[in-house]
Amino acid sequence: MFMRRLIGLTFIMAIAALGALPSSQAATSPRSMHFGKPATPAEIAGWNIDVEPSGGGLPAGSGTAAQGTALFAADCAACHGAEGQGMKVPGHGMFPRLVGGIGTLASNAPIKTIGSFWPYATGVFDYIRRAMPFNHPESLTSHQVYALTAFILWKNGIVGKNDAMNARTLPRVKMPNADGFFTRPKPRG
pLDDT tens, position by position, 11-44: 555 555 555 555 554 455 555 667 788 889 888 8
Q: Which pTM value belongs to this model?
A: 0.76
Please tell me which residue, 73 or 48, carries the higher pLDDT value.
73
Q: ∠ CA 150-155-99 to the nearest 5 degrees?
A: 115
What are phi and psi for residue 89, nearest 5 degrees?
-115, 120
* Confidence band for 188, pLDDT divided at 50, 70 and 90: confident
By residue count, the chain amounts to: 189
Tell me the per-residue pLDDT of 43-55, one tens digit each, with 9 for 90 and over.
Answer: 888 788 889 999 9
Question: Residue 67: what residue type?
Answer: Q
Residue 147: name the closest of 37, 79, 70, 85 by CA: 70
Query: What are the structural domain ranges in the chain?
Result: 51-172
Is 187's pLDDT higher than 50?
yes
DSSP state of 30: T
State mean pLDDT over 158-184: 94
Task: Report whether CATH 1.10.760.10 matches the domain 51-172.
Answer: yes
| Bridge partners for 93 per DSSP | 89
Lowest mean pLDDT among 55-59, 173-177, 185-189: 185-189
How many angstroms separate the CA atoms of 112 and 81, rounded? 16
How many angstroms separate the CA atoms of 164 and 60, rounded? 13
Tell me the per-residue pLDDT of 94-114, one tens digit each, with 9 for 90 and over.
Answer: 899 999 999 999 999 999 999
